[in-house]
Amino acid sequence: MQYRLEYDETDPKSIEAYGEKLIGKTFAEVCEEDDITQAMVVRETTNYEVRHENKKRKGGLGELIEERYFHYPANNDARPDFEKAGVELKVTPYKINKNGSISAKERLILTMIDYCAVVNEDFKNSHMWKKSRLILLIYYLYQKELKNRLDYKIGYVKLFSPPEQDVKIIEHDFYVITEKIKAGKAHELSESDTLYLGAAPKAATSQDRRKQPFSSELAKPRAFAFKSSYMTYVLNNYIIPGKATYEAIIKGKTEESFEDYVVDKINAYCGYTVKELCEEFQIDINKKPKNLEAMLSYRMLGIKGNHAEEFEKANIVVKTIRIENNNTIRENMSFPTFKFKELVEEDWDNSIFGNYLRETRFLFVVYKFDKSKELHLKGCQFWNIPYKDLEGDVRNVWEKTKEVLETGLKVEVRSGRHYNNFPKSSDNPVCHVRPHARNAQDTYELPDGRQFPKQCFWLNNSYILKQLNKQFFE
């Protein structure tokens, strides 16, 4: 028996209108309202809800919506789900944060990367673009306290096609990924290589590997994915009605890549002192605004606030670096504090710090002191941590930190000063652990129950120095 569809499978708007009826429903309610015996696309009806409730079953909720609501068979076909309309269906979670803000819970997986095939594709005709140029996004609210994920409620349903300004960056990201594969470096791919479109790890186990065409070294399986930062922006600015958007850096058409455009805009002010930049952008330097140099970076890019649309989408973090007159750097680079009890429960591949570095691209805005101790802008560069440094020295420091917490942190007082056995800058050429607390009372609980001042990972100043372009030292 052929199930009669309640939407026009050739019309994207009809598919969207039918999908919008899901808003406010839980996945359990979708199952209750559907007669599984009539849904001939479902191959196995026994214990259907139980199997799709399993949180370890990847794609389970997406399959449920496909089969029990839209009544077409779930598959891994290269074509869009609604082929006649050119629409792909994606079911993805969002969360409400403690401060009330809304964000995507995770990246949006688009399609697996076939290393051998993708190097022969151009962007507009690629498998990836066919699966992502028009998507019916079904966002459901993730709630940690709910034990049965069929109780998650669907919050938003909307057709989404990346706007023109995003497509240009997504296309550039696509070629960054494919060029790295062509260079025989598929095993070094990282989400921080790109802005909106990432090469996300997608393996059943951490040992899974695949062949690549231009190197004998096996690479982790990866998928094209829209980054979680991009999906958060999509949710807050394209999906949720009435949300205000951030200012865009690129306001018209440009032939330059986004990164070249940003570098050229900031480098136009090379040589300016901080004082001169404050005068240029009418900032009262006497009030000593917090993160003054970062604020100036946004003003140089034509942004009135301290958020830029493209930076939010791409998870780009602005970091100010000050070079001393003798070409050294005084400050190490800090990152968010880590909770001791959470870190010991992590593994490296899914660690908060590891993922932060894997997924974040940095904009280094570099100043240098002259002989009179006045800061001059030297320029900027985009940077993400090299694969070998992340999986080598950084991983070693993270694993040593976890070991220290598991075996019991040792604290000694010598000459009135406190010392511990967390990895120090002298132990590793890339990073170390040290305090990042307001005072001695600003603490987290250790696994053994003791309170200890908050700590974070830091990149060594000597390491940062080596990552900078030579032109900054001239």
pLDDT per position as a tens digit, 103-136: 999 999 999 999 999 999 999 999 999 999 999 9
Per-residue exposure over 297-328, b if at least 16 CB sit within 10 Å of its own CB, e if not: bbbbbebeebebbbbbbbbbebbbbebeeeee
pLDDT recorded at residue 35: 62
pLDDT recorded at residue 439: 86
H or E stretch at 12 = helix 12-19
* Contact call for residues 225 and 107 (beta carbons, < 8 A): yes
* Contact call for residues 88 and 80 (beta carbons, < 8 A): yes
Taking CA atoms, 353 is separated from 151, 424, 425, 458, in Å, by: 31, 17, 17, 11
Per-residue exposure over 257-290, b if at least 16 CB sit within 10 Å of its own CB, e if not: bbbebbbebbbebeebebeebbeeeebeeeeeee
Query: Would you call 330 exposed, middle or buried from its count of C-beta atoms within 10 A (0-12, 13-18, 19+)?
Result: exposed
CB atoms within 10 A of CB 50: 10
Instruction: Give the pairing of strands 333-334 and 417-420.
Output: unpaired
* Contact call for residues 199 and 177 (beta carbons, < 8 A): yes
CA gap 327, 34 in Å, rounded? 69
136: its two tokens: 């019916």
pTM over 0.75: yes
* Contact call for residues 48 and 78 (beta carbons, < 8 A): no
DSSP 3-state helix, strand, coil percentages of the chain (rounded to 5)? 35, 25, 40
* Contact call for residues 1 and 121 (beta carbons, < 8 A): no
- In this prediction, residue 203 has a pLDDT band, given cuts at 50, 70 and 90, of confident
CA gap 474, 472 in Å, rounded? 6
Q: 15-19, 187-191, 237-241: which has the minimum mean pLDDT?
A: 237-241
* Contact call for residues 262 and 301 (beta carbons, < 8 A): yes
For 48-101, write each residue's pLDDT tens digit: 444 555 554 455 899 899 988 998 877 666 678 898 999 999 999 999 999 999
SS3 state at 286: helix
Residue with tokens 């839209």: 70
For 301-324, write each residue's pLDDT tens digit: 999 988 999 999 999 999 999 999
- In this prediction, residue 141 has a pLDDT band, given cuts at 50, 70 and 90, of very high
Q: Quick one: how many helices (H) and strands (E) in the chain?
A: 17, 19
CA gap 422, 405 in Å, rounded? 9
pLDDT recorded at residue 1: 43
CA gap 142, 350 in Å, rounded? 19
Residue with tokens 């600003």: 442
Instruction: Give the pairing of strands 316-323 and 333-334.
Output: unpaired
For 53-62, write each residue's pLDDT tens digit: 555 445 589 9
SS3 state at 145: coil
- In this prediction, residue 3 has a pLDDT band, given cuts at 50, 70 and 90, of low
CA gap 162, 254 in Å, rounded? 18
Taking CA atoms, 108 is separated from 69, 138, 198, 443, 459, in Å, by: 21, 11, 10, 35, 30
Taking CA atoms, 265 is separated from 279, 337, 382, in Å, by: 18, 33, 13
**What percent of the chain lies above the pLDDT cut of 70?**
92
CA gap 469, 367 in Å, rounded? 12
pLDDT recorded at residue 205: 82
Q: What is the DSSP string of 218-265?
A: EE--EEEEE-HHHHHHHIIIIISTTPPPPBPS--S--SS-HHHHHHHH
- In this prediction, residue 196 has a pLDDT band, given cuts at 50, 70 and 90, of very high
* Contact call for residues 226 and 260 (beta carbons, < 8 A): no
CA gap 464, 326 in Å, rounded? 15
CA gap 15, 175 in Å, rounded? 32
Q: State mean pLDDT over 209-227.
A: 96
